[in-house]
Amino acid sequence: MDAAATLLEIEAIKQLKARYCRYLDTKQWDAWRELFTDDFVSDTSASGGKVIDGADEFVAFLRATLGKPAQPTVHQVHAPEIELTSPTTATGVWALNDVVRLAPGVNLNGYGHYHETYEKIDGRWRIKTSELTRLRMDVFNPLFTVRISDRLRSTGVALARRFGR
Amino acid sequence: MDAAATLLEIEAIKQLKARYCRYLDTKQWDAWRELFTDDFVSDTSASGGKVIDGADEFVAFLRATLGKPAQPTVHQVHAPEIELTSPTTATGVWALNDVVRLAPGVNLNGYGHYHETYEKIDGRWRIKTSELTRLRMDVFNPLFTVRISDRLRSTGVALARRFGR
Amino acid sequence: MDAAATLLEIEAIKQLKARYCRYLDTKQWDAWRELFTDDFVSDTSASGGKVIDGADEFVAFLRATLGKPAQPTVHQVHAPEIELTSPTTATGVWALNDVVRLAPGVNLNGYGHYHETYEKIDGRWRIKTSELTRLRMDVFNPLFTVRISDRLRSTGVALARRFGR
C-alpha cells in the first residue's frame, strides 16, 4: 500500500473509534453494535471488570449497565497510535478519559488506555478486540450536576443524522 | 480529489479547530475572528445558550462574556469526524471538554459535542456553523486554583508567535 | 515533499507525542529516553517549573520526581498543530490535560499547551525542545482514589509489547 492509502485507512479507524465513543454516550445501541465484529472480545479485567465474548453479549451488557437516561456517561479518547498490520487488519492504542455516574452524587473519573485490534470487513473497519488498562480512577462528587434532559441529549443524535452520520 | 488531497484538507480543518480552542483560551480575539466565515452561526441552545448570528456578533459576545483575565477558560476537543462534502465544504463532529469559571470558586466542567460545517474561502478553511450538544455539566469547587498571571498566560502567545502561528 | 509524504511525517510526530505520554505515565523510562534528542531542552518556567538541559538530565529528573509507583500521573494531549519546517524538522503545539498526585489526597489537575520542536534523526522523529504554558491549575481532593496495583498498571505495558510497541 502507498502512503496515501495507508493514511486513509488510519483516518477511517480513528473515525471508527470516535463513533464508538459518541454512539455509546448518546446511547445509540443499534448503530453502536455495527462498529464491532461479531466475534468481538472486550477485556476490562485489568480495570476491575471482566471478559465479555461476542459483540451481541457486549452490547447487551453495556445497555443493561449504562443504558438508562439517568446514567450519563462520557468517553473521550486521545492520541491514537494506529498501525496497519495488513490491508485489512490493524492495531491501536488510545488514551481514555471516562466519566460515569455510579450512584446519585457519586461519579467515577477514570484515566487509562484502550489496547485494540481492528478488522476491515466488506470495506468497513470494525473493532475486533479491546482491552482496557488504568492509570487512575478517582471517585468524586460535584457540587451539583446540571441535568441534561433526554430531549436535549437527543438533539446531538438528530444533528448528527442531519449531516448523514 | 485523490486520497492525499482529501487527507490534507481534513488535516487543515483539524488544525483550524485546534486554533479555535487555543486562540479562544488565550484570548487572542482578532486572530480568533479570522477563523469564522462572516455569516457564521453559533447555536448553543441545546446546552442552555442561544443562537448568535454573524461572526462579529459572536466574537463580541464571547469577548464580553469570557474576555477578562480573571476568567480563565479551557476548551479541549477530541476524536474529530471530518467529512469533505465538496472540495470547499465539509462537516465535522468533535467531542468537547470545557472548563469555565462561573464565579469565585465555582466552576463548570462540561462534556459534549460540537456539530459543525466548514467552508474554504480564498484557500483557507473557516468555521461556518457550530451547534453544541451536552452529555454532562458538572459544577465543581477545587480546593484552590493556582493563579496564572497574565504575564505567564501570555507566554503561550509569545511562544506560538515565535513559531510563526 | 508531496502531500502524502508530508502527512505521513505529521502522523509519525503525532504518534511520537502519544508515546511520550504513554511511556511517561506507565513509567517506561528507558523507552521514554529514546523519544528525545540528546540535546533536548525542557522549559516549564512559565508553569512554575524550570529549564532542564539535556535528555539524560530531563529523564533523570522526572524519574526522581514522579517515578514511584505511589505517584500515578496522567498526561493527555489534544488537537495537535504540527508543521513541517523541512524534511527533518518540525514544530508543534499540543493542548495538555495532566493529573498529578502532589501528596496523599491532594492532586493537581492542570490545563495548558506544549510548544515543541522535533527533529528526524536516522529515520526516526524525536522531541528536541518543549515549553509548557498554562491556562488553569486546579488542586483537588477526590472522595477517594481507587488504588491501581503495580501488577495491574503494568498490564498496559505487557499488552503494548504483545502488539510490538
Chains that touch C (3 or more CB pairs under 8 A): A, B
Neighbours of A161 (CB within 10 A): 11
Query: Which residues of C sit within 8 Å Cβ distance of B?
Result: 2-4, 6-7, 10, 46-48, 78-81, 83, 91, 93, 95, 97, 106, 109, 111-113, 115, 131, 133-141
At C164 the pLDDT is 60
Confidence (pTM) = 0.94
Q: How confident is the model at residue A145 (pLDDT cuts 50, 70, 90)?
A: confident
Mean pLDDT for C98-111 is 88
What is the reported pLDDT for A75? 98
User: Quick check: B147 pLDDT over 90?
Assistant: no
Kindly list the residues from chain B whose CB atom is less than 8 angstroms away from the CB atom of residue A4: 2-4, 7
Mean pLDDT of A77-92: 98
| Residues of C whose CB is below 8 A from B105 | none
* Per-residue pLDDT reduced to its tens digit, C7-51: 999 999 999 999 999 999 999 999 999 999 999 999 999 888 899
| pLDDT score recorded for residue B151 | 67
Q: Pick the closest to residue B127 from B11, B3, B19 (CA basis).
A: B19
Name chain A's partners: 3 or more CB pairs within 8 A. Answer: B, C
Nearest-angstrom CA–CA distance, A4 and A9: 9
pLDDT category at C142 given cuts 50, 70, 90 is confident
Q: Cβ atoms within 10 A of the Cβ of C52, count?
A: 18
Closest chain C CA to residue A133: C156
Q: Which residue has the higher pLDDT, B90 or B140?
A: B90
Q: Which of C42, C136, C141 to mutate to test the interface with B (most CBs of B within 10 A)?
A: C136
Count Cβ atoms within 10 A of the Cβ of residue A4 and give its class: 0-12 exposed, 13-18 middle, 19 or more buried: buried
What's the mean pLDDT in B44-52? 91
Q: Do B148 and C134 touch (CB under 8 A)?
A: yes
Name the DSSP class of C28: -
Strand partners, C81: C93
**Chains touching B by CB (3 or more pairs below 8 Å):** A, C
Cβ neighbors of B97 (< 8 A, separation 6 or more) are: A76, A97, B74, B75, B76, B78, B109, B110, B111, C97
Residue A7: closest C-alpha in chain C: C8
State the Cα angle at C10 between C5 and C13, rounded to 5°: 130
Mean pLDDT (chain B) is 91
Show residues of chain A in contact with C73, CB under 8 Å.
Answer: 135
- Reported confidence tier of residue B165, pLDDT bands at 50, 70, 90: low
**Residue B143: is its pLDDT beyond 80?**
no
Locate cell 521514554: which residue? C32
Mean pLDDT of chain A, nearest integer: 91
| Inter-chain CB proximity A95 and C3 less than 8 Å | no
Report residue A57's pLDDT band, with 50, 70 and 90 as the boundaries. Answer: very high
Q: Which residues fall within 8 angstroms of residue C99, CB to CB, at 6 or more apart?
A: A111, A136, C73, C74, C107, C108, C109, C110
Residue A32, helix vs strand vs coil? helix
Condensed to tens digits (0 to 9), the pLDDT of residues A111-141 reads 999 999 999 999 999 999 999 999 998 888 8
Tell me: pLDDT of A68 over 80.
yes
pLDDT at site A13: 98
Verify whether the Cβ–Cβ distance A47 to C152 is below 8 Å: yes
pLDDT for the residue A165? 59
Judged by average pLDDT, the poorest of A5-19, A39-53, B133-147, C122-136 is B133-147
Q: What is the spatial distance between Cα B42 and Cα B163, in angstroms, rounded to a whole number?
A: 30
C97·A97 Cβ contact <8 A: yes
Note the pLDDT of residue A103: 82
Query: How far from chain centre, in Å, is Cα A138?
Result: 20
Contact present, B130 and B114 (Cβ < 8 Å): yes
Residue of A47 and C118 predicted with greater confidence: C118
What was the pLDDT predicted at A90?
A: 98
Give me the pLDDT at residue B119, please. Answer: 98
Spatial separation of the C-alpha atoms in residues A81 and A115, rounded to whole Å: 10
Q: What share of chain C is helix, strand, coil (3-state, %, to 5)?
A: 35, 45, 20
Question: Cα separation of C9 and B87, whole Å?
Answer: 24
Q: Are A134 and C153 in contact, with CB atoms under 8 Å apart?
A: yes
What was the ipTM of the complex prediction? 0.92
Minimum CA–CA partner of A16 in chain B: B81
Whether residue B39 contacts residue B128, with contact meaning beta carbons closer than 8 Å, is answered with yes
How far is B112 from B134, CA to CA, in rounded Å? 4
Is C150's pLDDT higher than 80? no
Nearest to A143 by CA among C138, C111, B108: B108
In chain A, residues with a C-beta closer than 8 Å to the C-beta of B132 are none
Say if strands B124-140 and C73-86 run parallel, antiparallel, or are unpaired: unpaired
Cα distances (Å, whole numbers) of residue A105 to A144, B17, B137, C138: 8, 33, 13, 21
H or E element in which residue A47 lies: none
Mutation for testing the B interface, residue in C111, C116, C130 having most B CBs under 10 Å: C111
CB contact under 8 A, A3 and B4: yes
∠ CA(C93), CA(A11), CA(A158), 5° rounding? 95
Give pLDDT, residue A163. 62
Q: Give the DSSP H/E element, type plus range, for residue C105.
A: none
Question: What number of other Cβ atoms are within 10 A of residue B73's Cβ?
Answer: 21
Return the HEC string of B16-43: HHHHHHHHHHCCCHHHHHCCEEEEEEEE
Residue keyed to cell 456553523: B129
Which residues of B touch chain C, with CB atoms under 8 Å apart?
A: 3-5, 7-8, 11, 14-15, 17-19, 21-22, 25-26, 72-74, 76-78, 97, 99, 107, 140, 142-146, 148, 152-153, 155-156, 159-160, 163-165
* pLDDT band, very low/low/confident/very high, at A86 (cuts 50, 70, 90): very high
Burial class from Cβ neighbours inside 10 Å (0-12, 13-18, 19+) for residue C163 reads middle
Q: What is the pLDDT of residue C165?
A: 59
- Please indicate whether, in this complex, the C-beta atoms of A131 and C159 are within 8 angstroms of each other: yes
- Residue B10 clears pLDDT 90, i.e. is over it: yes
